[in-house]
Structure 1
Amino acid sequence: MMKTKLFDTVLIANRGEIAVRIIRTLRALGIESVAVYSDADAQALHVTEADYAVRLGPAPANESYLDIDAVISACRQSGAQAVHPGYGFLSENVDFARALEAAGITFIGPPVNSINLMGDKIRSKNHVVAHQVPVVPGIAEPGLSDEQLLAAAADIGYPLLIKPSAGGGGKGMFAVESADQLPEALASARRTAANAFGDDTLFLERLVRNPRHIEVQVLADAQGNTVHLGERECSLQRRHQKVIEEAPAPLFENLEHGAAIRERIGAAAVAAAQSVGYVGAGTVEFLVSDENPDEFFFMEMNTRLQVEHPVTEEVIRVNGAKLDLVDWQVRIAAGQPLDFTQDQITLEGHAIEARLYAEDPSSGFLPSVGTVLRVSEPENVRVDSSLRDGLEISAHYDPMLSKLIAWGPDRTEALARLDKALAGTVVLGVLTNSEYLRLLLADEDVAAGRLDTNLIERKLDQFAFRQISERELALAAHLEDQRIPAAKTPWGLRDGWRAQQRRASIQHFDAAAAEGKTALLRDPDASRVHVGAEEFTVGQEPDGILSVNGQRTALQHAFAEDGTLWLCEDGWTAAVRKLSREEVLERHLATLAIESGTFSPHVESPMPGTVISVQVADGDEVAAGQLLLSIEAMKMEHQLLSPADGIVRMTGLKPGDLVKAKQVVATVEATGTTKPTEAQQQEQDA
């Protein structure tokens, strides 16, 4: 390899697992790393892993990670000669690239012109059309008004897809089936795009039903050499957000002429990159028809590293050796040319990646926030992670915690290894999507490689999420006994203790994962627990492993400061908490109210977040299911609806205000007992 002077110090303008992953490569290259952080991330893993760390500002991203002046100042303060932007945040921000150029700091990314052309979906579509790259029919022009989009929709035809010109990750994308749905969808898409990307420019394109999402990794140096590193299939998506990614694409692997299609789509990606003088690592994304795989359409080019880049690193071989994309990003930014050609690149085996999120799939994928009490990550696969014991998971940023990447000699073995890794992942303190990922991998169509971007939406209702059973409640009662401090007086325990005897007591637990309100009767002998008609003997083995009826369990557990007991087993996570007498009474009265046909008048925020819009005023007459206000948490918009017809009493919240979990944001003085439909309730995530 040609010797080129690399950088002494590189600043990573990002956070979380990608910052940790970049630090790892910089360390291998002998380059000092500089982390940046917000107040919410002061104790984050990327901060402690880096050689130096510089504070950017408060927790909100627009006052820290998105503050260009603050990042430039951090470069000057640390002496960084170059900046790696990771993905998201400022990674595709042309103003950031220009600011670095003006400051004499190297941007580890493509030239400004490439970002300008390919970082905007409208410009990129119009550009590649001129270079004979096929695109999906639609309208993509700058500055289109809602009226112009409405007029163009009829010619494009339904169903169609609304897409924001800026940004990515599926945020702000809305599928529209008919003309009457379009005005409201445009308003919501503009609001989401403006909040997420600071740009509400939209365009429309024909919706290709049941498509495959195939993307091609490209790598280009400043001397004009460009190669592609095979393709990835990212068809498993929920609301346009990728969930599982793999390389190579099962679509091509399962076709007799798949290698020929791979060659054609790879050549198209290289041509698209070369047409804008691209330099560095980038990804060209295509829609491929499942019915006709020979037909593919350009969607966009991501002018940055992708979340799913590890699967490419795991399968690509250059003269038989693995390739590190971050390593090559740094080398290319320093002026080093590629030292290999397309014919030296081969594929070996299969790799699959799963994104671990702090969210609750069984409750509509609501974000989960809190303190990570304990983490145990598998050793049999690659793990790119930001997790550590004591980490605070806030509502300010994307909920992704880590990525698990499994390689195998074939796809079947890679799937099995990834499932085993997910089963062995323990995160206590927040809910995760690990169980959901295992259910998805076990689906017969996923196992067979019959994928499309709508598969999850079709099948999600069929997934049977595990609920807290009598077994776990019995264990909770036992563990609750063990955690009671000896210093507490018996009079403060309220557990049925009496002088010279201890009678059986009733414990009530709130099981968040199952919304259960279950009573337990514990015998004076604490090892025997009754849950309804079931009796369990629970205990703890000498090595600390819990047992039920003499059988050892794989259950991991930890108590939070508020007394919540977190449980994890085989990828399943849940939380239970013992209720006070006052809470038991309150739940009982609420149950009676529901049974009598009335509904709670209070509208509560399901999670901590930020108010992004208020749709009604205090004293307005509202209908059941009507949108009252929207709250954003972890880059997701959640719509809060009226529980009944009536008069709404608002609490004075306005856009920008912060709310807590279960905070009452409005009250409806009901004039009827109409409850929002199930479909209306499911529209929480925009």
Structure 2
Amino acid sequence: MIAVQLFSKVLIANRGEIAIRIAKTLHQLGIRSVAIYSDADQEAAHVRCADEAIRLGATSAESYLNPQAVVQAALAVGAEAIHPGYGFISENVELARACHQAGVTFIGPGEHALEVMGDKIRSKNHVAKAGVPMVDGVSEPGLSNEHLIAATKNMTFPMLIKPSAGGGGKGMHVVASHNELAGQLETARRVAKTAFGDDTLLIEQLIRSPRHIEVQILADQHGNVIHLGERECSLQRRHQKIIEEAPSVLLSDETRARIGQAAVDTAKSVDYVGAGTVEFLVSDEEPDKFYFMEMNTRLQVEHPVTEQITGIDLVEEQIRIAAGASLSLTQDEVVFTGHSIEARVYAETPQAGFMPSTGTVLHVSEPAGSGIRVDSGLRTGAVIGTEFDPMIAKVIATGTDRDQALARLDQALDEMVVLGINTNLEYLQHLIRDADVAAGEIDTTLVEARLPEMVFDAPTRRHAQIAAHFVHGEARAPSDAWLHDGFRLCGAAEVNYRVDYPAGNDPSSFEIALDTSAQLLPAIRVNEYVYQDVDGVETVTVAAEAPTPQGTRVWMATNTFTGFVVVLDHKAQVLDTLSSLEAEERGVDPQVRAPLPGTVTAIHLPDGSQVSAGDPVVTIEAMKMEHQLKAPLDGTVTIHVSDGQQVALDQSILTVVGHASNDDH
């Protein structure tokens, strides 16, 4: 190993859990870390954990997505190198080029590798020349929608549309027939342009029951390239990975050796330097065959599982390689021990079609213990908006074998508590408890197939009572206790609350009458206590948002339910009743409002068009996902927004004036 002088200061061109992860390794190496941030991240956890922080701009475009601004920031604070993390501009050749021109070290591959592997079409054609197997498809640059439709007329459906410049499953669309192709191409181009600045598309034959297997590689500046084994990434939703593990239970030792060598050959073909991942599709029916998908020229979200079974700090290796050191070990010295599984925690609501969840984090409790690792950017008080990807943390469990790793992951997910936003924690537990997942019989279609059968926990009357007690306890104050306690000269009266659960597939309500003589909870914002009644003992963590005229949203984490309910006092109940009466008189609400903050990415019809109920009218993008807003009834549509406009939660987007019937006349 060549001894080199490491950097004294490194700027991290990223945010969230990955910026914190990189900062930890920098700290261990005695290297000062510099964070960057936009206005939305001014109080973010990654800003606080770095040695220095610098504001680059108000928005992502002015900060995390601006190569020139990132390099200028590094120069301004005297950072000798930039670590790009993943996402944002981590694979943007313009960042590497700007670093080179400014004399700042880019902790990543060279410009040639970024240019070749950053374009799916170019990378596939390049790797095909090296003899790596490819999936059938159309991968030529510059093809219009019409050319793509014509070129695929003899292909067998289903097919998969993929952005050439993309990653992370964004913009990928499965097409079942020629009738869907034109519309799906239009949507894919729009998403690709928004997410990656390039709307070039390719189309591949969709392999049925595929497994997504990727291989981690390391390459230094002296021609040494090794692989660190494979990761199984087949549990995906909408082509976005959810659960990853290492090693894969599918591969034989012989196939493992061949796919590892194919990854090494792929890296060598572009003179790769640094850490990278080569991704393959493997047929579940023919596990000895694999097909090149793409190469990710960066650290991957799921890199911790490889670190856990190899004992190698991939970020440290990246830094040493960038400083000019040779690899710290040879291929023969790579040893795999145990099994590791990672679950991605997203701010979303699985019960509501995985709608992104926004809000302020009121309480966080992360698991710990033997074999448990949490990479997280969460903290109490953090605001989760729609500007960034909805992934908020990763929970990694490692055991001596796969069964132990799964058991530890299940326990860790059960122990993790996040209040103030909805998460997919319960959904993740459903997945890892699935019989096929436990047996290792998985493919990229399993997640979507299981969702309709999943039953999510809902609050019981006990939970409603806890929430009502909590709100009532907070409302009490010595100066006006008689207002809240139902005080009468002849004694106390019951106080009635209605507790609504609007977040599930089957909304429910509870009528709760409190005995005001009973002991109430302390009037604090967050409380953890043991609740006991005839049904048993339950540990409950409770947090409340600020009250509104529509009620108080109370979040709770219990043994049997985690989520929120809305507690309505007498005044809120009256207002809700009046609102319901008004809605009944009005019939179908003609107005469609934004279900969450976001950006208008498409207006499908001109203002004043005639529409039928269910017609898509406007598409909003939030957290890198698209949400179609549809006409609520037949009539004439008035559109209140423009393409590219930022919209707020509950903002009016469109109104449909219904057609007059004969009865109306």
Q: Which amino acid aligns with 2:13?
A: A
Q: Does 1:247 align with 2:215?
A: no
Q: Does 1:518 align with 2:503?
A: no
User: Which position in structure 1 is the counterpart of 2:395?
Assistant: 404
Distance 1:486 1:170, change over 3 A: same
> d(CA) in 1 for partners of 2:269 and 2:212?
22
| Other structure's SS at 1:521 match | strand
Q: CA deviation at 1:488?
A: 5.6
Q: CA deviation at 1:325?
A: 0.3
- Asked if the contact 2:496–2:514 (Cα under 8 Å) also holds between the matched residues in 1, the reply is no
User: Which position in structure 1 is the counterpart of 2:541?
Assistant: 556
The TM-score normalised by the length of structure 1 is: 0.91
User: Which position in structure 1 is the counterpart of 2:524?
Assistant: none
User: Which position in structure 2 is the counterpart of 1:36?
Assistant: 36
Q: CA deviation at 1:600?
A: 2.2
- Asked if the contact 2:458–2:561 (Cα under 8 Å) also holds between the matched residues in 1, the reply is no
Distance 1:330 1:2, change over 3 A: same
Q: CA deviation at 1:578?
A: 1.9
> d(CA) in 1 for partners of 2:39 and 2:293?
37
Which runs of structure 2 are paired with 1:173-572 in the superposition (5 Å)? 173-252=172-251, 258-316=252-310, 322-380=311-369, 381-487=372-478, 489=480, 493=484, 496-514=486-504, 516=507, 518-525=509-516, 527=518, 544-549=529-534, 551-562=536-547, 563-570=552-559, 572=561
1:95-128 deviation per Cα after TM superposition (whole angstroms, max 9, x unaligned)? 1111111111100000000010011100000001
> d(CA) in 1 for partners of 2:322 and 2:609?
58
> d(CA) in 2 for partners of 1:225 and 1:519?
66
> d(CA) in 2 for partners of 1:616 and 1:659?
18
> d(CA) in 2 for partners of 1:10 and 1:85?
10
Which runs of structure 2 are paired with 1:74-113 in the superposition (5 Å)? 74-113=73-112
- Asked if the contact 1:375–1:388 (Cα under 8 Å) also holds between the matched residues in 2, the reply is yes
Distance 1:413 1:275, change over 3 A: same
> d(CA) in 1 for partners of 2:233 and 2:567?
42
- Asked if the contact 2:233–2:245 (Cα under 8 Å) also holds between the matched residues in 1, the reply is yes
Q: Which amino acid aligns with 2:388?
A: Y
Q: Does 1:13 align with 2:13?
A: yes
Q: Which amino acid aligns with 2:10?
A: V
Distance 1:570 1:283, change over 3 A: farther
- Larger mean CA deviation between 639-648 and 220-229 belongs to 639-648
Q: Which amino acid aligns with 1:660?
A: A
| Other structure's SS at 2:61 match | helix
Q: Does 1:157 align with 2:145?
A: no
1:360-390 deviation per Cα after TM superposition (whole angstroms, max 9, x unaligned)? 1111111111111111101121011101111
| Other structure's SS at 2:539 match | coil
User: Which position in structure 2 is the counterpart of 1:638?
Assistant: 627
> d(CA) in 1 for partners of 2:560 and 2:360?
18
1:592-647 deviation per Cα after TM superposition (whole angstroms, max 9, x unaligned)? 78889942222121111122222233322111111111111111111111111112
> d(CA) in 2 for partners of 1:84 and 1:599?
53
Q: Does 1:669 align with 2:663?
A: no
- Asked if the contact 1:478–1:527 (Cα under 8 Å) also holds between the matched residues in 2, the reply is no
Percent identity of equivalent pairs: 51
Q: CA deviation at 1:93?
A: 0.3
Q: CA deviation at 1:546?
A: 2.6
> d(CA) in 2 for partners of 1:543 and 1:175?
46
- Asked if the contact 1:432–1:573 (Cα under 8 Å) also holds between the matched residues in 2, the reply is no
> d(CA) in 2 for partners of 1:422 and 1:572?
13
Q: Which amino acid aligns with 1:404?
A: V
Runs of at least 5 residues in structure 1 that lack an aligned partner in the other structure? 253-257, 317-321, 530-541, 674-686
Q: Which amino acid aligns with 1:189?
A: A
- Larger mean CA deviation between 575-584 and 20-29 belongs to 575-584
Q: CA deviation at 1:476?
A: 1.1
Distance 1:499 1:655, change over 3 A: farther
| Other structure's SS at 1:501 match | coil
| Other structure's SS at 2:153 match | helix
User: Which position in structure 2 is the counterpart of 1:679?
Assistant: none
Q: Which amino acid aligns with 1:552?
A: V
RMSD, aligned CA: 2.1
Q: Which amino acid aligns with 1:220?
A: A
> d(CA) in 2 for partners of 1:263 and 1:572?
45
- Larger mean CA deviation between 437-446 and 336-345 belongs to 336-345
| Other structure's SS at 1:73 match | helix
Q: CA deviation at 1:506?
A: 2.4
Q: CA deviation at 1:163?
A: 0.3
> d(CA) in 1 for partners of 2:336 and 2:561?
34
Distance 1:5 1:176, change over 3 A: same
> d(CA) in 1 for partners of 2:176 and 2:578?
43
Q: CA deviation at 1:487?
A: 4.5
> d(CA) in 2 for partners of 1:369 and 1:224?
46
> d(CA) in 1 for partners of 2:635 and 2:274?
58
| Other structure's SS at 1:128 match | helix
> d(CA) in 1 for partners of 2:235 and 2:107?
30
> d(CA) in 2 for partners of 1:198 and 1:165?
11
Distance 1:597 1:411, change over 3 A: farther
Q: CA deviation at 1:12?
A: 0.2
Q: Which amino acid aligns with 1:281?
A: A
- Asked if the contact 2:67–2:95 (Cα under 8 Å) also holds between the matched residues in 1, the reply is yes
Distance 1:225 1:346, change over 3 A: same
Runs of at least 5 residues in structure 2 that lack an aligned partner in the other structure? 521-526
- Asked if the contact 2:602–2:618 (Cα under 8 Å) also holds between the matched residues in 1, the reply is yes
Distance 1:481 1:232, change over 3 A: same
- Asked if the contact 1:468–1:513 (Cα under 8 Å) also holds between the matched residues in 2, the reply is no
- Asked if the contact 1:137–1:205 (Cα under 8 Å) also holds between the matched residues in 2, the reply is yes
> d(CA) in 2 for partners of 1:449 and 1:131?
32
- Asked if the contact 1:422–1:571 (Cα under 8 Å) also holds between the matched residues in 2, the reply is no
Distance 1:549 1:596, change over 3 A: farther
Q: CA deviation at 1:343?
A: 1.0
Q: CA deviation at 1:582?
A: 6.0
Distance 1:472 1:521, change over 3 A: closer
> d(CA) in 2 for partners of 1:561 and 1:523?
21
Q: Which amino acid aligns with 2:236?
A: Q
Q: CA deviation at 1:579?
A: 2.5
Q: Which amino acid aligns with 2:257?
A: E
| Other structure's SS at 1:611 match | strand
- Asked if the contact 1:4–1:336 (Cα under 8 Å) also holds between the matched residues in 2, the reply is yes
User: Which position in structure 2 is the counterpart of 1:141?
Assistant: 140
> d(CA) in 2 for partners of 1:599 and 1:9?
60
> d(CA) in 1 for partners of 2:605 and 2:575?
30
> d(CA) in 1 for partners of 2:660 and 2:282?
50
> d(CA) in 2 for partners of 1:597 and 1:210?
49
- Asked if the contact 1:434–1:571 (Cα under 8 Å) also holds between the matched residues in 2, the reply is no
Q: Does 1:573 align with 2:562?
A: yes
| Other structure's SS at 1:250 match | coil
Distance 1:451 1:488, change over 3 A: farther
| Other structure's SS at 1:91 match | coil
Distance 1:281 1:543, change over 3 A: closer
> d(CA) in 2 for partners of 1:348 and 1:165?
36
Q: CA deviation at 1:161?
A: 0.5
Q: CA deviation at 1:56?
A: 0.9
